[in-house]
Amino acid sequence: MIKFNGIHKSYQTGNSSLHVLKGIDLEVTSGEMVAVMGSSGSGKSTLLNIIGLLDVHDGGDYYLDGKLVKDLNETKAAQLRNKHLGFVFQSFNLISFKNAVENVALPLYYQGITRRKRNKIAMEYLEKVGLLPWSDHLPNELSGGQKQRLAIARALIGNPKVILADEPTGALDSVTSQEVMELFTQINKSGITIIIVTHENDIAHQTQRIIRLHDGKIEKDHKNGHFVPHTEFAKTI
């Protein structure tokens, strides 16, 4: 589903350059549920944003669903995002003046689906995440956990193959975090690939695979407790 061969990324600020990703080799297959860990500033969000076509790498090759991601203009990137990807963020990123059903329906607006049909489909997704009674409420009338479930419904409505979640439980208490993780687990069981950035061990351990970033490289990659060999490593054996 996702393949990185020697991905590099640097940020230019003024005259200085910050080398954030220093040759990442990574393969995530369809249906996996993966956690990305690492200290603050280790490049977790950068990695996720490159996977999500929200940022561009400047070295190496990235294949999304078997296709090389290269020289995409914003229109093409948006098309690929709509087709393949759903996003969930720590800060929910809901539209404050739109109610729950309108927030969930928003991705369908960009697909040119009529308002009536959009809202009907959005109600089905609200039901999936247990928010049907809250459909006409504004985000600020919802709890943190409800907001994140709403954001997950919005991520699901485009029927994505992959969900990318950047610290989705970072703003939630432990009980609510657990509810959100249960929802992700259920979504993953339906076949959707999920990549979750987190710095909480108990969150990461609810996935099948933990990738640890350190100093711009993958320091560890364990799936069900076993070491996952990487291209670089495979070449040496």
Q: Smaller CB distance to ligand ADP: residue 42 or 146? A: 42
Cα atoms in the Cβ-side hemisphere of radius 13 Å centred on 176: 14
| CA-based torsion, 170, 9, 163, 35: positive or negative | negative
Could you say which of Mg ion, ligand ADP, none residue 20 binds, taking C-beta under 5 to 8 angstroms by partner kind?
Answer: ligand ADP
Binding test (CB under 6 A) with ligand ADP, winner from 42, 99, 148, 193:
42
The least distance separating Mg ion from the CB of residue 118, rounded to whole angstroms, comes to 31
Q: Smaller CB distance to ligand ADP: residue 146 or 207? A: 207
Residue 198 interacting with Mg ion (CB under 5 A): no
Residue 18 interacting with ligand ADP (CB under 6 A): yes
Give the type of residue at 46.
T
Residue pointed to by tokens 């928010």: 131
What residues contact 35, with CB distance under 8 A and at least 6 apart? 195, 196, 197, 198, 203, 204, 205, 207, 209, 210, 211
Could you say which of Mg ion, ligand ADP, none residue 195 binds, taking C-beta under 5 to 8 angstroms by partner kind?
Answer: none
Q: Smaller CB distance to Mg ion: residue 91 or 159? A: 91
Contact 221, 227 (CB under 8 A): yes
Residue 44 interacting with ligand ADP (CB under 6 A): yes
Binding test (CB under 6 A) with ligand ADP, winner from 3, 4, 35, 45:
45
Which of 59, 94, 67, 103 lies closest to 171, judged by CA? 94
Q: Smaller CB distance to ligand ADP: residue 21 or 142? A: 21
Site residues (CB under 5 A) for Mg ion, limited to 32-61: 44-45
CB atoms within 10 A of CB 138: 16
The least distance separating ligand ADP from the CB of residue 194, rounded to whole angstroms, comes to 17
Residue 193 interacting with Mg ion (CB under 5 A): no
Contact 179, 130 (CB under 8 A): no
